[in-house]
Structures are given as structure tokens and as C-alpha cells.
């Protein structure tokens, strides 16, 4: 693995800022219900998009575009830290069943979404050869 260049780091950082701001804007709509549906949705959608990313012609042509969109935008958009904090908060507040449901749903949902995104990406690449 090669060491990242300053330009690559700047691309990832700028993309991550865009993704994090998008996530923050969406999660700010959360109504305070017991289960953080928006964070769950963000992580599932982000996992799907990470799987689809290789199908984008711009990503295949440019490593820098892939860096900006993958670990940058989508890395900043998805969030394990907020999810972990929400799970911990639910468990601490006596909602262990909801916390467990969030863990299982998040893990299963993101894995399935990433798998489907990757399959769609491969299918698209095969049809464009």
C-alpha cells in the first residue's frame, strides 16, 4: 500500500465534511422516538451506495474520485459512532430489547444492502463490457 498524498487526504477530508453535514442535516429531523430510524436508514443507504460505487464510470476511471466519494462522502455520511452511542443510550435507559433490535437490524441491514449494492455494481459492469 502506498502512502497517501496530501491531495488525497484533502479529497477524503473534503468529502467526509460533505457527508457528515448531509448526515447531520438528516438526523436533525429525528423526532426523538425510541429507535433512531434515521441513523439506521443512513447506514443502510450508505452501505448500499458503497457497494454500488465501483459501477460508476467516474470511480472506475479515477482513484481520486473513488477516494472522495468512498471514504470521503460515504465515510462521513455513515456513522458507527452515533449508532453505538444510540445503542448504548437505549440500553442504559432500560430499553435493552430495542437496543438489541437496533444492533441486529443495523448489522443485517447494512450487510444485505452492501451485498445488494455490490451485486448491482457487478451486474452493471458485466452488461457494459
C-alpha triplet 54, 55, 61: angle, nearest 5°? 70
pLDDT score recorded for residue 42 = 95
User: Does any domain span residue 24?
Assistant: yes
Domain assignment present for residue 1? The answer is: no
**Total count of domains within the chain:** 1
User: pLDDT value at position 29?
Assistant: 82
CB atoms within 10 A of CB 44: 20
Residue 71 located in a structural domain: yes
| Model pLDDT, residue 129 | 66
Does 121 map to a domain?
yes
Q: Rounded to whole angstroms, how far apart are CA atoms 104 and 86?
A: 14
Domain with 72 in it: 6-127
- Does residue 111 lie in a domain region? yes
Q: What global pTM score does this model have?
A: 0.87
Mean pLDDT by 10-residue block, N- to C-terminus, for the chain (129 residues)?
85 97 90 79 96 92 94 95 92 94 95 95 80
Amino acid at each position: 500500500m502506498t502512502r497517501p498524498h496530501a491531495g488525497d487526504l484533502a479529497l477524503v477530508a473534503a468529502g467526509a465534511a460533505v457527508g457528515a453535514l448531509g448526515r447531520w442535516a438528516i438526523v436533525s429531523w429525528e423526532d426523538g422516538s425510541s429507535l433512531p430510524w434515521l441513523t439506521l436508514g443512513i447506514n443502510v443507504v450508505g452501505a448500499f451506495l458503497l457497494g454500488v460505487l465501483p459501477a460508476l464510470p467516474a470511480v472506475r476511471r479515477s482513484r481520486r474520485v473513488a477516494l472522495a466519494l468512498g471514504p470521503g462522502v460515504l465515510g462521513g455520511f455513515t456513522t458507527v459512532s452515533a449508532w453505538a452511542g444510540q445503542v448504548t443510550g437505549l440500553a442504559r435507559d432500560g430499553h435493552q430489547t430495542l437496543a438489541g433490535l437496533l444492533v441486529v437490524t443495523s448489522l443485517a441491514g447494512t450487510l444485505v444492502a452492501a451485498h445488494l449494492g455490490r451485486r448491482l455494481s457487478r451486474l452493471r459492469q458485466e452488461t457494459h463490457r
